[in-house]
Chains A and B, each alone.
Chain A
Amino acid sequence: MTKITSLTELKKLRDSLKEKMESYSLLDHPDSIIQVKVAMATCGQASGARPVFDYFKEELEKRNIPAMVTQTGCMSYCYAEPTIEVTIPGKNPVVFGFVNTRKADEIIERYIRKGELPDGVIPVNYETVISQ
């Protein structure tokens, strides 16, 4: 890892990382890919987020669906843990609650493959500041 030694350098790095991350969710972009985020804070893990995370990783690969499975902190819907967020390129992210491996299978087959919304969608109820 080379150290960042100026603000300009940091901004350049930020811009390239930002562009790359945003390109994942763009439609018809060479980098676009399905993103699955699993909330893996203490609350999520205590309710079984780890097996759900592993399941998505293994199953998406097995079923030949190119996807990026990552962990995040608490998505704040503690009452509905484990929670996950799925972003299909070109679409808004969708949050699902009470996800176990059975539900995960349904999400892969119905939402990720066919774009149908199964039950258990949690409406997003907050706004987030965007720094710039």
Chain B
Amino acid sequence: MTSTQEPILELRGVNKSFGAVQVLHDVHLALYPGQVTALVGDNGAGKSTLVKCIAGIHQIDNGDYLFNGSPVHVTGPRDAAGLGIEIVYQDLALCDNLDIVQNMFLGREMKSGVVLDEAHMENRAKETLASLSVRTVSSVRQLVSSLSGGQRQTVAIAKAVLWNSKVVMLDEPTAALGVAQTRQVLDLVRRLADNGLAVMLISHNMNDVKEVSDRITPLYLGRVAADVAAADVTTGQIVELITTGRSGDIGLSRALAQESA
């Protein structure tokens, strides 16, 4: 395991409010290359908000955002992409009317002169899908509207790794999938980490989380309850951390957990 490494992305003491409602409280988070970190938490705990803060879609109110050990200012999706941070959103954000290649390169099209370099993009898309062992699409020129849920998820993930990305965050990638498709996506998530990327996986499914992740970060009402190695906790303990913020001697202090609730 590579836990002795420095984190590639780190948040320290991050707060985020929407108007009067504080959604994230003093959040500490570290993502390591080659590891899958699972971010778990109840509905409304602030998981998606945290992802969007890292992605630059929301601005953090205060706290430190460090990339490769140095503080950075991420003020928009382009900044995050520039650092090598890619996000697979819960709602995927694909254009149904475009094909797989067009979606994968959206916003970052390859060009020769002013003309789109379709050949180059098509081949790169195929290479990327092949390198992820994606074998289920019959043509990369299929419209995304014709794909199954699992295939769409695959395209969204392939889009994220197409760029020399260093961090990939996936917001509930298996929530809408069947058993076989979930299997494929989890394999894919593991493979990303094995290829050296730092991966953050948001999921509700404790079995998935236990199986695929190296570290687990439960979020309880906008606070990070713990940051534990997946091997060191039981499923029951994770559930307890998610629902009460503490479990035995891990988690928030009793006072803090009750104050939050």
**A and B, one complex?**
no
